[in-house]
Structure 1
Amino acid sequence: MDRWLFSDTKGSLEATASYALEQHTGMRLLFEDMVFQMRRAAPPAAGAPASPTGAEPRFDSTASRLLQTAAEDLVPLRTEQEHHASGQVIGPESLSLLLSMANRDALGRFDAAGARESVAQLKDLGLLDGRRLTPEGKKFVQPLRGLQAQFTVSAVGPDGSTGMDAWLGAGAALVAAGPAASALQTTVIPSGSCELLSIDAAALPVFLAKWLPLVPAWTVGQYPLRLAGDLFERRLNEGSAVEPPEGLGEAEARMWAQPWVGWNVEHVHSGRRLGWVTAGQAGPFLATADPGNGDVVLEPEPVSAVWDTLVNFILAAAQGAFSPR
């Protein structure tokens, strides 16, 4: 068990994490990163609508009816966990040049002469000093030099597609991420460029969860929804205006009306892949293609289960549990 105690002028906050002894090495940094991201919620704005029961939270009326129990409105939590770009913006040629320095500390004279614009951008970002990597630049390529796992992530929805690459190793992760799936209309990242970050290895699942997005939701429904492959593709790319199949129950109709983002995470060296559809407030659905007829089966899963699967997938890949393809 690990315990953290924080104190400020408004009071104290204690956080506790517990795990089996054999999990401590792999999980402690992840829990620590989660705990250190906690913030006090901002006070309600003046004139904001009061909760219907005073001190009690507002409720999600549709989810409450479907679950047959009082279900809190999770929209404020979803807003708190949105991804906001915080890394350095880098162009594709500059990223390729940086990746080429995985096994060298300095560019050759001809390499630098043939990539003047990329060299200039890496200098502006503080990653190069002349033709040599700065201490910050070495920090960024550290995961490439002790590479344990590489992942590609892709996401698609009505607003378009996006993706990211992540390299994990030596206790750190290098992330090159396009616009978050939920921010394609408001992104500050120019087309073709990406957000470049160096983060702690244990923070990679948290970054992925926010970027995808994997946010709190009330998952309702017990039975998978089977869709013809072409209908699934149209719904994913064109949105809820696509005519739904007949016979949907209330839970499935709620899910159909939400904004969809289809996403997958692939371990590059083994080819293993996980795929889901996040249907807004209806939560995530495991997406499985039927090789026999091309149908896609969408099975509702609690967000907590998806989170556990994602963390275990990344941890297993980092530990070399997957055979190369």
Structure 2
Amino acid sequence: MDSLNSIAPREPRLDEFASARIGAKLEDLSRVSQAQPYHSNGPVLDTRTVQLFESIADSGAVGRFQRGGKKYEIAELSASGYTNEKGQLTSSGKAFATPWREFEFGLSIAAQREEMNTGMQIWAGGGLAILAAGPSPFAAETMGIAPNQLALDLVTVAQLPMAIASWCSIGPAWTTHGDLRSLQQKQFYARLASAAEPAPADADGAWLRMWHQPWTAWNIRRSGSQSGHSWLNAGSAGHYRVGTKAGDITLEPEPSAVVWDTLVRFIHQAVTAPEQAVDGMGQ
């Protein structure tokens, strides 16, 4: 018998809860997101270095009287190829700084996972976007970023949604509705800070499934505006839109495809109306 035929095909691992809930064999999708973590191609720079880089985008060089107090930052920029040793932008530095010179809109992402607070700042202009990212909550150990450091990348505006989706781990998931849809703010933030926080006494199976997954709360905002969207990433239980009602935190299950579509639309509106506020749910 052919050795290949003698090996029984391995069936994918099932998501037991979702399969029972929906009444069909559903594959465990958690490994899909784990296989596509955020990856930065740019240098990791001190936050002060990134700020200096932005400040010289128009002038093209660190001011003569600034150099003495900016030796560390200039050394980092020079080592990365963006400036020479005197703090003057190289051709690579000038090309990279295009979104700062031709700024059209900015976005900011903030995320919290237990005690970890991180984020990403984005400047877009001239068809390009600069990403200054702290460690992704889903790939912090692989990014090698220390406190007060940022991974700097340049992408096209068309690549923005995928880059953000990867950093925020927007992957496929079987998101199910539960009986509960809200929490007191105190309890929500306590659970966000620690997985040891007890679940509500009246939590049903779907809610408990979500409760015992890793929690990461994140939001995206348009710079200079309150427009934006907020979600809770609950691992294999999927995404939940975060809102407020009567002083409580509402959690509405939202399929990953809807999260993705919302993100794409949000960025598209920023591109097509750079001077206008982007519609969304300001939380």
Query: Normalising by the residue count of structure 2, what TM-score does the alignment of the two structures yield?
Result: 0.90
Structural mapping, 1:8-27, within 5 Å: none
| SS at 2:66 equivalent | helix
Is it true that 1:314 corresponds to 2:270 in the alignment?
A: no
The structural deviation recorded for 1:269 is 2.3
Q: 1 CA distance for matches of 2:49 and 2:106? A: 19
The answer to whether the Cα contact below 8 Å between 1:224 and 1:297 also exists between their aligned partners in 2 is no
Distance in 1, matches of 2:143 and 2:114, equals 15
Q: CA deviation at 1:111?
A: 2.0
Correspondence 1:73 to 2:28: yes
Matches within 5 A, 1:72-111: 72-111=27-66
For 1:188-203, list aligned pairs within 5 A: 188-203=144-159
Cα deviation code 1:158-201 (max 9, x no counterpart)? 14110110011111110100000123455511111010001111
Match of 2:100 in 1: 144
Partner of 1:323: 277
Correspondence 1:255 to 2:210:
yes
Residues in 2 aligned to 1:297 and 1:114: alpha-carbon distance in whole angstroms: 48
1:144, CA displacement in angstroms? 1.2
The C-alpha deviation readout for 1:109-140, integer Å capped at 9, x for no partner, is 11223211111110000000233211211122
3-state SS, counterpart of residue 93 of structure 2? helix
Aligned partners of 1:66 and 1:181: how far apart in 2? 29
Q: Work out whether residues 160 and 184 of structure 1, in 8 Å CA contact, stay in contact via their aligned partners in 2.
A: no
**Residue in 2 aligned with 1:7?**
none
Q: Which has the higher relative contact order, 1 or 2, with Cα contacts under 8 A spaced 6 or more apart?
A: 2
Q: What does 1:114-129 align with in structure 2 at a 5 Å threshold?
A: 114-129=69-84
Cα distance in 2 between the residues matched to 1:297 and 1:318: 30
Query: Which ranges of structure 1 fall in alignment gaps of 5 or more residues?
Result: 1-49
**Matches of residues 221-260 of structure 1 in structure 2 within 5 Å?**
221=177, 225-239=181-195, 241-260=196-215
Amino acid at match of 2:34: T
Q: 8 Å contact 1:224–1:300 — kept in the other structure?
A: no
Would the aligned equivalents of 1:59 and 1:72 in 2 still touch at CA under 8 Å?
Answer: yes
Q: Secondary structure at the match of 2:124?
A: strand
* Number of residue pairs the alignment of both structures matches: 270
Partner of 2:19: 64
Q: Deviations over 1:194-216 (max 9, x none)?
A: 10001111111111111112112
Partner residue of 1:165?
Answer: 121
- The CA distance in 2 between the partners of 1:101 and 1:224, in whole Å, is 51
When the two structures are superposed, what TM-score results if normalisation uses the length of structure 1?
0.78
| Structure 1 moving runs of 4+ over 6 Å | none
Q: Which letter does structure 2 place at the counterpart of 1:315?
A: H
CA distance in 2, matches of 1:245, 1:163: 30
Aligned to 1:213: 169
Q: 1:271 and 1:78 mapped to 2: Cα distance?
A: 29
1:181 equivalenced with 2:164 (yes/no): no
For residues 273-319 of structure 1, what are the alpha-carbon distances to aligned partners after superposition, in whole Å with 9 as ceiling and x for unaligned?
Answer: 210000000000000022x3x20000000000000001100110122
* Identity fraction in percent: 34
